[in-house]
């Protein structure tokens, strides 16, 4: 799946999950673990919905390319750090 179709499907699933899930959660009770879980779960679902709406409505090609470039830089940095850690560990073992 590419493009907006993926975001439309995920947005639909998140909305359905929120619609059916909120009716099952206890959000009006006293503040206990169940109520806190319900509130956090609902907030997380709203964040997912907001992210997909952002991708559908306000994300243009320039922003997508910039985000892809940033993600690639982060992957390269992570890979470089991991390789340095492996090299240090192998050097320590070789010496000792």
R_g over Cα of the chain? 21
Q: What is the pTM of this model?
A: 0.64
User: What local confidence, expressed as pLDDT, does residue 51 receive?
Assistant: 93
pLDDT at 3: 75
Query: How much is the pLDDT for 84?
Result: 93
pLDDT recorded at residue 48: 96
- Residue 1 has what pLDDT? 62
Each residue of 71-87: pLDDT tens digit?
999 999 999 999 999 98
Low-confidence ranges of the chain (pLDDT < 70): 1, 96
Give me the half-sphere count of Cα atoms (radius 13 Å) on the Cβ side of residue 40.
7
């Amino acid at each position: 799946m590419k493009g907006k179709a993926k975001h439309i499907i995920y947005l639909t699933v998140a909305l359905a999950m929120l619609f059916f899930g909120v009716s099952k959660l206890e959000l009006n009770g006293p503040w206990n673990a169940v109520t806190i879980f319900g509130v956090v779960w609902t907030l997380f679902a709203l964040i997912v919905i907001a992210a997909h709406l952002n991708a559908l409505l306000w994300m243009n090609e320039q922003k997508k390319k910039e985000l892809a470039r940033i993600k690639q830089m982060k992957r390269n940095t992570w890979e470089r750090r991991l390789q340095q850690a492996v090299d240090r560990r192998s050097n320590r073992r070789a010496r000792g």
